[in-house]
Amino acid sequence: MPTGAAMSDSLKDRIALEIRTTGPMSIATYMALCLSHPRDGYYRQGRPIGSAGDFITAPEISQMFGELIGFFFVNLWQQIGEPKSFTLLELGPGRGTLMADLLRAATKADGFADALHLQLFESSPPLRTEQATRLGDYHPYWSESLDVAAGDPVFVIANEFFDALPLRQYVRATDGWHERLVGHDGDTLMFGLSPIPIANDAMPVAVQSAAPGEIYETNLAAARVIQQLSTTIARQGGALLAIDYGYARTQTGDTLQAVRDHGFANVLDRPGETDLSAHVDFETLAAVATTAGLVAPPLATQGDFLMRLGIAERAKSLARANPQTADAIATALTRLTAPEAMGTLFKVLCIMSPGLQPAGFAA
């Protein structure tokens, strides 16, 4: 307990108390507390997304993003014979912008709106309120779990959701790997290493030749979400589309990052006031899905995916309809697709029932 001062009750103090009581914690535990603590977690308060928040996401850049994803799902819905009832589930819908754009476009297809059951998976109460405002007309249902209505096909969309799930880090040493942990020194939180070595051959082959000091990240939470939804899709039919920054092949690298006010911050500084995220290991997630019986076409970059779906043509027709916003539309197109912007860092994973031909992926 801090000496001399009255014990304060900030999230940082409670994390320090927990470390004093039970020892250093995994980065996954730290990240889960920082993001999802019921009172002080980052996503429980405030408005992280948008120009007034800490970061901007693709759907907040342009309506074109959600509209094209709407077209993507209408196309799959048609491929499975336009079922009269299906679930559309969004993981981490943020402000509801993506889904509002998606549905405005998709419900132009005859029968889509009548067949739709909209399910939202969202842990943040203030963001749920925003979603209710934007999506109320579609009568969404907010679920506490990833269970979906039995029987119906299910389509899942997740943009910048998997990067927010808690991950663990392991550091290569001469005697194997050691988990990287969060401990503290006085009032300062700091990283340390577990004293227990993990044998190199217990790690994925892709990282076994890592040099000492290199970091390997695993995300059990992400894998479990994919496993559960893959099992459901394998049974009921459907597909999941996940868009996020990440890498196509399992590799080493410390990608844990903290963002506040549109800039990078220290991961251990101001817990609960800073967004924490990490790159997504898409290879591992695709492998979990294929083990569950789904198929995954080769990952697409966000730029290629949107171009194949016709974003350039959509930008032209929007600019024709609103000449005064032509410059803003051109800028948005570049931000979403250019390699030096979001175009190649962001990748698109599709996992789906066998036999479907997803639009936007290389044939």
Backbone angles phi, psi at 348, to 5 degrees: -120, 120
259, 55 Cβ separation under 8 angstroms:
yes
Q: Which is nearer to ligand SAH, 122 or 179 (CB)?
A: 122
Q: Which is nearer to ligand SAH, 134 or 314 (CB)?
A: 134
- Residue sitting closest to ligand SAH (CB): 92
Binding site for ligand SAH (CB under 6 A): 35-36, 43, 49, 57, 59-60, 92-94, 98, 121-124, 127, 159-161, 164
Kindly state the smallest distance separating residue 60's Cβ from ligand SAH, in Å.
Answer: 6
Kindly state the smallest distance separating residue 32's Cβ from ligand SAH, in Å.
Answer: 8
Q: Which is nearer to ligand SAH, 337 or 353 (CB)?
A: 337
Q: Which is nearer to ligand SAH, 216 or 346 (CB)?
A: 346
Sheet strands (E) in 62-175? 86-91, 116-121, 141-142, 154-159, 168-173
Kindly state the smallest distance separating residue 187's Cβ from ligand SAH, in Å.
Answer: 28
* CA 103 – CA 116 distance, rounded (Å): 10
Q: Which is nearer to ligand SAH, 302 or 353 (CB)?
A: 302
Q: Which is nearer to ligand SAH, 54 or 304 (CB)?
A: 54
Kindly state the smallest distance separating residue 111's Cβ from ligand SAH, in Å.
Answer: 26
Q: Which is nearer to ligand SAH, 43 or 155 (CB)?
A: 43
Q: Which is nearer to ligand SAH, 165 or 171 (CB)?
A: 165
Q: What is the DSSP string of 192-227?
A: EE-SS-B-GGGS-GGGTTPPTT-EEEE-HHHHHHHH
Among the listed residues 177, 207, 205, 181, the one whose alpha carbon sits nearest the alpha carbon of residue 193 = 181
* CA 299 – CA 285 distance, rounded (Å): 11
Q: Which residues pair with 300 in a beta bridge?
A: 348
Kindly state the smallest distance separating residue 255's Cβ from ligand SAH, in Å.
Answer: 16
Residue written as token pair 């549905």: 103
Sheet strands (E) in the chain? 25-26, 86-91, 116-121, 141-142, 154-159, 168-173, 176-185, 188-193, 215-218, 238-247, 257-260, 263-265, 275-277, 280-281, 300-301, 346-352
Q: Which is nearer to ligand SAH, 47 or 316 (CB)?
A: 47
Kindly state the smallest distance separating residue 20's Cβ from ligand SAH, in Å.
Answer: 26
Q: Tally the C-alpha atoms within 13 A of residue 73's C-alpha that lie toward its C-beta.
A: 36
Fill in the DSSP letter of residue 80.
Answer: T
Question: In whole angstroms, what separates CA 287 from the centre of its chain?
Answer: 17
Kindly state the smallest distance separating residue 261's Cβ from ligand SAH, in Å.
Answer: 16
Kindly state the smallest distance separating residue 165's Cβ from ligand SAH, in Å.
Answer: 6
Fill in the DSSP letter of residue 127.
Answer: H
Instruction: Classify 30 as helix, strand or coil.
Output: helix
Kindly state the smallest distance separating residue 201's Cβ from ligand SAH, in Å.
Answer: 32
* CA 305 – CA 289 distance, rounded (Å): 20
Q: Which residues pair with 176 in a beta bridge?
A: 173
355: left (phi > 0), else alpha (psi -120 to 50), else beta?
left
Kindly state the smallest distance separating residue 177's Cβ from ligand SAH, in Å.
Answer: 26
Q: Which is nearer to ligand SAH, 288 or 342 (CB)?
A: 342
* CA 226 – CA 135 distance, rounded (Å): 25
